[in-house]
Structure 1
Amino acid sequence: MITITACMIVKNEENVLGRCLDSLKNLVDEIVIVDTGSTDRTKEIAKQYTDKIYDFTWIHDFAAARNFSFSKATMDYIYVADADEEIDEENQEKFRNLKEAMIPEVELVQMYYTNQLEYGTTYNYDKEYRPKLYKRLREFTWQDPIHETVTLDPVIYDSDIEIIHRPAMSHAKRDFNNFYVVLDKGERLSPKLVHMFAKELFIAGDEEDFIKAGAYFEEWQRDTTITPEECAYIQCVLAKCARIQGNLELLMKVALKNIASKASAEVCYELGEHYLELGEYEEALIWYYNAAYETECQLNIHYGGDYPLKRLADCYRALGNVEQTSAYEELAEKWSL
């Protein structure tokens, strides 16, 4: 049977940490907890489950903290847990079965991450696979009898284990602040992080968040090295930011560039919002329809689904079209992820 270290990074998690560790304590062989500056009872609670508790000075870098936690693990595999997760009894049994049946060739196990939309910040689906269990020491092997090469792709197993995500609050403001710390150092975000930043804004950001982030996104749009995907994400954010601030020139400039390449549902939706605010319902209908039926979402799946469908109903209601209002209300109600 394999052995497992559970590695966690925590800060002020007294409300949820015990719940998480209760569900893990009989599944893993070692628990490593890295504290990044708790001022509550987090470490006191952690001591009830493990003596392997380490302090790590927070440098606004989750990867650095994760790497430090991995360096303290000693078992065959590492299970990565967050304090706001738990594993129910049914999935604990599945976890034990996996542990007994695991073959050494498997280097990474994916598990279902569920309940993602509760206080969700970057999720478009309530259940999806995530890598959760990692082989601690990876063995490299050569393959191919001629022009031999080292195998780099990990051996992945998709399990049926479900991890329940049960946050106590939204972490969006914390995440935005971490983005700003990195950006204010003059560091360039990777394409992946540009996507995550834009996605989190559209899923969990408020108007104040968009306005603050807008300055960074305006600067990025002038970067000639950005990828087409980054460009689309930036245009979505700037379209909403411009509409919020009443900057018609920027809205049209961004929207026209977006539509000329590959129109995004989010941009079409913001054009619909602009015309709705003006009371130009027939113009708004065009753009909401395009958001719902003619384009694809870049960041938040709702912008191509129930959001524009509800707005189509609002526009037809304002125009006195009872039949179409009822039809789109029904479509919006039936829409699901």
Structure 2
Amino acid sequence: MITISVCMIVKDEEAVLARCLDTLKGIADEIIIVDTGSSDSTKQIAACYTDKIYDFPWVHDFSAARNYSLSKASMDYIYVADADEVLDDDNRKRFLSLKEHLPQEVEIVQMKYANQLAFNTTYNYDIEYRPKLYKRLRSLRFVDPVHESVALEPCVYDSDITILHMPQSNHAARDFDTFQRAIKRDGRLSPKLFEMYARELFIAGEEKDFLDAFSFFKDFAVREDYTERERKICDCVLVRCYHYMKDITGLLKYGLKNIADGKASSEVCYELGEFFFKQNDYKEATIWFYNAAYETECELNLRFSGEYPLKRLTECYRLLGNKEQEEAYQALYDAWCKENMR
């Protein structure tokens, strides 16, 4: 049987920490809690489960805090948990079985992460695999009977364990501050963070958050070394920014650029629909909302190709007095939500 270090970084998690740690009883051989500046009873709650509680000054870098937590681990495997995660009874049993039977050659275990859409997270899947359990020490080994070489790819196992993500608050403000600090410090974002910044804007951003991001994406849009996908992402963000700024020229510039190559983004079409909706031109708005729902693909937030335009189409046809179309789109809206928000 393998042994497991549970490593967590926390801050002001008094509402959910005990719920999480209760579900890890019998799974964790040691629990490591790294607190990045709680002002509530988080550390007192943690002390009921472990004496391995460490303070780590918050430096606006989650990787730094995570790496510090890993440095304190001593078991065979490390399970990286967040305080807003829950294992139900069935998945606790699966985890305990995994702990007993996991082959030693497995270096990473992926687990299903659930409730993504229900809790408005930055991912466009309700359930997705994520690496959660890691072998603490990796042994080098040669493979192949001739022309042997060191195995560089880890041995990954996709388990049947499902982790329920059940946050009680939104962390978008914290994330937006971290993005802005990284831009000021480094002048850039990695390709992954570039997309995650835009994705989080379209999922949890308010007008101020978009306007704070405007100069970064505007400067990026005039570069010549971006990829096609990065250009599409810039179009989406800038069209929303110009909409907030009531700058019709900017909205049309990036909206038309996005549409011109025949691969328009759902987010852009939705914004054009919103523009006409606010002008009370509901007939024109239906064209763009329809395109968002059926003729294009989303770049950043799945809801812009389903839930949001279908809801607006329902409203448009209600305002146009077309009861038949209103009821048809209401049914499509209800079906989308039922399918994607389970």
TM, length-normalised to structure 2: 0.94
Q: Report whether the alignment pairs 1:311 with 2:306.
A: no
**Segment of structure 1 superposing worse, 3-12 or 214-223:** 214-223
Does the CA contact (< 8 Å) of 1:109 and 1:133 recur in 2? yes
- Helix, strand or coil for the counterpart of 2:38? coil
> Alpha-carbon deviations, 1:202-253, whole Å to 9, x = none?
1111222222222221122122222221211111111111112211111111
Structure 2 stretches lacking a partner, 5+ long? none
Aligned residues, how many?
A: 337
Q: Which amino acid aligns with 1:304?
A: S
Does the CA contact (< 8 Å) of 1:32 and 1:53 recur in 2? yes
Q: Which amino acid aligns with 1:217?
A: F
Q: Which amino acid aligns with 2:114?
A: T
**Segment of structure 1 superposing worse, 133-142 or 76-85:** 133-142
Q: Name the CA distance, whole Å, in 1 between partners of 2:234 and 2:57.
A: 32
CA drift at 1:166: 1.8
Show the counterpart of 1:55. Answer: 55
Q: Name the CA distance, whole Å, in 1 between partners of 2:62 and 2:326.
A: 47
Show the counterpart of 1:215. Answer: 215
Show the counterpart of 1:295. Answer: 296
Show the counterpart of 2:258. Answer: 258
Does the CA contact (< 8 Å) of 2:6 and 2:80 recur in 1? yes
Q: Name the CA distance, whole Å, in 2 between partners of 1:320 and 1:282.
A: 11
Does the CA contact (< 8 Å) of 1:289 and 1:308 recur in 2? yes
Show the counterpart of 1:322. Answer: 323
RMSD over aligned CA atoms reads 1.6
Q: Name the CA distance, whole Å, in 2 between partners of 1:275 and 1:245.
A: 15
Q: Name the CA distance, whole Å, in 2 between partners of 1:250 and 1:243.
A: 8
Q: Report whether the alignment pairs 1:131 with 2:137.
A: no
Does the CA contact (< 8 Å) of 2:36 and 2:55 recur in 1? yes
> Alpha-carbon deviations, 1:85-127, whole Å to 9, x = none?
1212221111110001000111111111122334423132322
Q: Name the CA distance, whole Å, in 2 between partners of 1:164 and 1:60.
A: 26
Does the CA contact (< 8 Å) of 1:121 and 1:172 recur in 2? no
CA drift at 1:5: 0.4
Does the CA contact (< 8 Å) of 2:307 and 2:333 recur in 1? yes
Q: Name the CA distance, whole Å, in 2 between partners of 1:173 and 1:75.
A: 35
CA drift at 1:260: 2.1
CA drift at 1:131: 0.9
Show the counterpart of 2:38. Answer: 38
- Helix, strand or coil for the counterpart of 2:162? strand
Structure 1 stretches lacking a partner, 5+ long? none
After superposition, the Cα gap between the structure-2 partners of 1:248 and 1:147, relative to the gap in structure 1 and judged at 3 Å, is: farther
After superposition, the Cα gap between the structure-2 partners of 1:205 and 1:89, relative to the gap in structure 1 and judged at 3 Å, is: same
Q: Which amino acid aligns with 1:305?
A: G
Does the CA contact (< 8 Å) of 1:292 and 1:303 recur in 2? yes
After superposition, the Cα gap between the structure-2 partners of 1:326 and 1:106, relative to the gap in structure 1 and judged at 3 Å, is: same
Q: Name the CA distance, whole Å, in 2 between partners of 1:89 and 1:175.
A: 32
Q: Name the CA distance, whole Å, in 2 between partners of 1:292 and 1:118.
A: 20
> Alpha-carbon deviations, 1:281-331, whole Å to 9, x = none?
232222111111111011111111121122222223333322222211221
- Helix, strand or coil for the counterpart of 2:27? coil
State the percentage of identical aligned residues. 58
**Segment of structure 1 superposing worse, 317-326 or 21-30:** 317-326
Q: Name the CA distance, whole Å, in 1 between partners of 2:308 and 2:118.
A: 18
Q: Name the CA distance, whole Å, in 2 between partners of 1:306 and 1:117.
A: 11
Does the CA contact (< 8 Å) of 1:111 and 1:162 recur in 2? yes
**Segment of structure 1 superposing worse, 81-90 or 276-285:** 276-285
**Segment of structure 1 superposing worse, 113-122 or 234-243:** 113-122
Q: Name the CA distance, whole Å, in 2 between partners of 1:207 and 1:231.
A: 21
- Helix, strand or coil for the counterpart of 2:278? helix
Does the CA contact (< 8 Å) of 1:25 and 1:49 recur in 2? no
Q: Name the CA distance, whole Å, in 1 between partners of 2:177 and 2:206.
A: 14
Does the CA contact (< 8 Å) of 2:239 and 2:255 recur in 1? yes
CA drift at 1:28: 1.3
CA drift at 1:267: 0.4
